[in-house]
Every structure is written in structure tokens, then in C-alpha cells.
Amino acid sequence: MQAQSRVIIENVRPNLENGRYYAKGVHNDPFTVTADIFADGHDIINAHLLYMVAGKKKWLEVPFNFLGNDAWSATFILSSRHYFDYKVEAWIDYALTWHSGLIKKLEAGLQVAVELQDGLEHLRFLAKQKLDSAQKNYIKTCISLIESSKWEEASAELKNGPVEAIIRQFPEKRFKTEFDAGLQVYADREKAVFSTWYEFFPRSSSATKGVHGTFKDCEKLLPRIAEMGFDTLYFPPVHPIGYQERKGKNGSTKALSDDVGSPWAIGAPEGGHKDLLPQLGTLADFKSLINSAKELGIELAMDFALQAAPEHPYVQTHPSWFKWRSDGTVQYAENPPKKYQDILPIYFETPDHEALWEELVSIATYWVDQGIRVFRVDNPHTKPFHFWQHLIIEVKKHHNDVIFLSEAFSRPRIMEGLAKAGFTQSYSYFTWRNTKFEFIEYLTELTKTERKDYMRANFWPNTPDINPYHLQGANDTVHLIRLFLAATLSSNYGIYGPVFEQMISDAIPGKEEYLDSEKFELKHYDWAKRNRITAHITLLNQLRKENKALQRTNNIEFCAIENQQILAYFKADRHTENYILAVVNFDANNAQSGWVQLPLSQMGIAADETFTVHDLISENSYFWKGEWNFVELRPPGLPYHLFKIKKV
């Protein structure tokens, strides 16, 4: 920066901890950068956003637009799945300042001979640029008119001709100010922001009660998953399970001989993280499953759980990867209040950490090589942030389509820290949000603060670890409400089934834990069962696919409605003019009604114009008019509306 640079660039956003972390975008989506840009005095300033795929040599430029109050914004399209660098340049535009002053004087009917001559330096600069022939002729004409003192003709040319556009196309950028903090954005594939997850335990997939399920059994269930509209199928770990310290039913520390143990206790004489539990099948079976799923539009998501059962091969081959106590033991893992006696934590700070980290990265790349592109990462908040940053960067170097979901239910700064470290998606507090106020507060925090630049929440009504109080013993209407909230508030959501849709909600008394949890035992389900919940799952997932507005989370806007039991929100996809109004009644037992306010101007609907709202759930249509319209929701038949809004 030169002393003569007069423009100040501040408050550039997205900017996470001054470029320490990259922001997140989506391939083919626009990416918008805002900044405060200002200078002393009253000269005209201008600014460009410069960007390029990281590692390239040539910056591309896009002009900033003035928003008012010294704020500016610029947008470019994330045209490939890569990291993009971006920086800001701004300058006093002496040429625009000159031209604007000239026009003002002309409009005031003043003499402009001096102004015209003052402009020669700017016109001569333009004459030297790579103009097209029309531009070249025009600029030459302006110069020669001034040089021959033809003030009136010169004035007319400069007033009516394209000089301002040419100046903007070829800015002098004299004494420009640059803001370059090494900022980056990563363009993920679409699934990073729009994904629909189904989780089940592959060992419970057998059609025969008491028999350990296999990958082949799982393959038979795929049509059902696809029919319900899920695009991501997540399995708890599929690796050999430790025998020593194996957990029994309900997490008992004393396992019986036929107990199958927790799949998160990875590692046994049969192998470790790069091996499969023999009961589930072979690598060939697994790859066949991956491929069959892919044909049905489903990606298989693996669990990435970095810990070792006591017989894990690493314990023998790499004892330095564990922290040994003075009695020759390793302290088992904990995630208070939970104790994992069947698991040894990895010692990430080991002096041998380079080899350790390399091996751990190689686990991910091994499964990527087998066809996996989605990982659900177990308890990442109990492993170092820098490790995740390293792992995700390393994996993305060769496979820019890999998605990492952070399974951390922890404190806000920890959850955010993991998202900043690079996780593509994050489990969220959705599971514990219940009231209208809580949802508005939480979604506002996720979508209207800096979190929108890096954190993509995934909403789960339940998980094997969380059987929330409000679902315990709850009827199907309550389940539907939670399903609807997850599927329409957030473009990323998932359920743990068939527990969810079959309303299996028995709990350990006083806890949000499933009784007889599948985490510790084989289960047998009637996989063919259909009910009102599976019908709504199928419908909602179909509607998510058909309506672009439901494929993003950050586009949410809450609508005023004077009833604390009703939550109403609007989502828009301007490109396809897809406008959705969701209205949901938290009261599963009583009819609730109210007047809901719509942001009409965003849809280009006039205040006195009639428009239609079509309920995609009930298939009923209504004519509405004006900002405020009446809604009534009568459970159990109609706990929510999902209106598609159209101009008549």
C-alpha cells in the first residue's frame, strides 16, 4: 500500500478469523463478498473483487456494487469444485470523478473548457487500452475535439457517448488499495447443502429374527430407502468389534457370550479400521452394496470413528499411538457423563504424530478408494481441531467431492470450531429445540450471523444416542411435526430408522436414551411396514426434490403470526421463482389459527393482487390477497401446511 492510497477497505466478509479458515459455498452457486469501502473527501471510488481457483496465476475481476452507507457487495459464480482465493481492490476513480464533475457542470449550463482539457489525461489513458474499434474511434474523436477546442461537440460526445462504461471497463486503479488476507472459499458439491439421510444398523437388516444382518440383506432394503426419497444411507461402523471389554445390552460393562458389542469399539483380531466385520460380509459384498445404492441415487455414508478397542491391531503394531500410564494400561475414553470402557483413545500428541496422522488419513482415503464419498465423523470434538483441519484438506486434495458430517453435540464454540476446521456439515441443536422462540432464535443464529459462511446444520429428530423426551411415547402427529420441521427448516436432515417411523421410543427412565439400544444388540424389524409417517416421509422428500426453495437453509425468513403455537416461515428460490410458505402447529392436540404475514414484494406480488397458495400436503388451493392471511391447522389430520405460492 502506498502513502497516496486514499481508499480504506474494512470489514470484508466472509472472513473467518482473518483468513485462518475458509468459507463455504456450493458449486454453481453465486458467492457474495461484502465490505465497507470509503475514502476521504468526495471523489468517486470504485472497487473490484478479484478471485481465482486457488493455485492458478490469473485473477478474475468483478465490480463491487454500492449498497449504501459505505457498504459494497460483489458476487461471482463458484464455477468448479475447488478452493477459490479472493481479495479486494479499491481506488479513487479519478476518471469517473472528472466525468461526473463535467456532467454536473454541463447540466448546470456552465463553461467547461477547463474541465474538458483536464480530462485529456484520462482519455489518453483510455486510448492506450485494449479497446474495441468502436470504443477506439469514440475516444479518439473525444480527444481530437478537445485538442481542437471544439468544446460543444466534445461536451456532447462526453455527455451522450459511452465514456463512463469505457472508464469502468478500463479503470486506472491509480494508488489502489488492496485487501488481501489470503481469504478462501471452498465450493462443495450440491449434496453439501441439500441431503436427506437415513440411518440404520446393518446388523439389524436380516429378514430372520435373531440372525445377524449382512451387506447382502442391506442391499435388499435399498428399494425401500429409495422409495422414501432418501439420498444418503449412513451406517454405524462396519469394522471388526473388540471382544475384550465388549459392552453388553444397555451398555452394561459385562457382556454375555452372545452379545454383539458396540460397533464403535473398533478393532479385533479380525482387523481394524480398514477391515470389515466378517458377519456383515466381504469387501466385495460391501462394494456391491455401494454400487447398488448408487444406482438408486443413494450414497453410502461410513462412520469415521477414530478410536481403538483393546485388541485393535494398532495397539500391538504402534503402541506409541496410545498414552500408556505407569501401570502399563491406557485410560479408556470418556465423553462425560458417558464412559467408553471398550475403547482406547488415540494419543494424537504422540511424538510419533506424523506417522499416526498419516495412517489416520489413509483410513479415509482407503474407503474413498472403495467408493465412499460421505463420512459421518464420530465425536470429533474429542480429537484435536488441527487434526481435522489436516485430514479434510488432505482428503480434498485428491477427492473434492468428499463430505464430512461432524457428529459433535457439544458447546457452541466447539461445534463452530469444528465447522470452521472444515467439516462440510454439522449435527445441530435441532433435536432439543421445541418452542417457536427457540426455533426462530436458533435458525437466525445459523443463517443470519457469521455462521452462515461456514456452518451447515443437519437436523435430526432422533439418533441412536438421542431419544428426545418429546418423542418418548409420543403419537404419530408429534413425530410428523418433528419430521416436518427437520425437513423444511433445514435442507440437510436425517432420521434414525426404522425406529423413528415405527415410533419405537421406549427410553431408559429419566434419560434421553433408547431402552435396549440397538447400539449394544441385534434388532429385528418389519422392514416392509408402512404407516402415516412413512407416507409423509415419502411425500416430504419428494417435495424437497421438486422445490428448489427447500434445497437451501440460509434462505429462510420467519413470518409474523400472532400465535405462539404456530411457526411460519418463507423460503424462496428466486431463480426458479419457487416460493414456499411453511406453517406448522406445535400443538398436536388442538386446532390453532392466526393471521400470517407474507413478504409479497419479494415475489413481485402487489398489495392488492390476488395470488394462489397451494398446499402441497393436502392438495387444497386457496386464493389469498394482501400481506396478511388466515390459516388454521387442525391436528391430527392437518398439523402443517406447505404452501406453494403462485401469482394468478
Residue 341 sits in the site that holds its own copies (CB under 8 A) = no
Q: How far is the CB of 503 from its own copies (least distance, A)?
A: 35
Q: Per CB under 8 A, which of residues 398..427 are in contact with its own copies? A: 411-414, 417
The interface mask with its own copies, positions 48-87, x = CB under 8 A, is: ---------------------xx-----------------
Residue type, 490: S
CA angle 513-515-516, nearest 5°?
125
Name the 3-class secondary structure at 563: coil
Q: What are 282-289's contacts with CB under 8 Å, separation 24+? A: 283/370, 285/214, 285/215, 285/216, 286/215, 286/238, 286/370, 287/370, 287/371, 288/215, 288/216, 288/219, 289/215, 289/216, 289/218, 289/219, 289/222
Q: How far is the CB of 65 from its own copies (least distance, A)?
A: 17
Q: Per CB under 8 A, which of residues 317..336 are in contact with its own copies? A: 325-327, 329, 334-336
Active-site residue, 615 included: no
Residue type, 247: K
Residue 5 sits in the site that holds its own copies (CB under 8 A) = yes
In the block, which residue shows the cell 480398514? 274
Residue 107 sits in the site that holds its own copies (CB under 8 A) = no
Residue 36 sits in the site that holds its own copies (CB under 8 A) = yes
Using the rule CB under 8 A, which residue among 104, 339, 386, 530 binds its own copies? 386
Q: How far is the CB of 175 from its own copies (least distance, A)?
A: 6
- What is the distance between the alpha carbons of residues 464 and 495, in angstroms, rounded to a whole number? 10
Residue 316 sits in the site that holds its own copies (CB under 8 A) = no
Using the rule CB under 8 A, which residue among 107, 258, 295, 349 binds its own copies? 349
Of 13, 189, 28, the C-alpha closest to 86 is 13
Residue 529 sits in the site that holds its own copies (CB under 8 A) = no
Q: How far is the CB of 482 from its own copies (least distance, A)?
A: 27
- What is the distance between the alpha carbons of residues 22 and 14, in angstroms, rounded to a whole number? 9
Q: Per CB under 8 A, which of residues 180..219 are in contact with its own copies? A: 181
Active-site residue, 378 included: yes
Q: How far is the CB of 90 from its own copies (least distance, A)?
A: 13
Nearer to its own copies, 358 or 546 (CB): 358
Q: Which of 407, 501, 518, 521 is catalytic?
A: 407
Residue type, 99: H
- What is the distance between the alpha carbons of residues 573 and 570, in angstroms, rounded to a whole number? 10
- What is the distance between the alpha carbons of residues 523 and 513, in angstroms, rounded to a whole number? 16
Nearer to its own copies, 278 or 412 (CB): 412
Through-space distance between the first and last CA atoms of the chain, rounded to whole angstroms: 56
Rounded to the nearest angstrom, the gap between the alpha carbon of residue 267 and the centroid of all alpha carbons in its chain is 32
The interface mask with its own copies, positions 356-385, x = CB under 8 A, is: -x----------------------xxxxxx
Using the rule CB under 8 A, which residue among 59, 348, 432, 628 binds its own copies? 348
Name the 3-class secondary structure at 325: coil
Q: How far is the CB of 350 from its own copies (least distance, A)?
A: 8
Q: How far is the CB of 626 from its own copies (least distance, A)?
A: 30
Contact 378, 264 (CB under 8 A): yes
- What is the distance between the alpha carbons of residues 53 and 60, in angstroms, rounded to a whole number? 9
Rounded to the nearest angstrom, the gap between the alpha carbon of residue 347 and the centroid of all alpha carbons in its chain is 31
Residues forming the active site:
378, 407
Judged by the rule CB under 8 A, the positions of this chain that interact with its own copies are 1, 3-6, 8, 10-11, 17-18, 36, 38-42, 69-70, 113-114, 117-118, 120, 175, 181, 325-327, 329, 334-336, 348-349, 353-354, 357, 380-387, 390, 411-414, 417
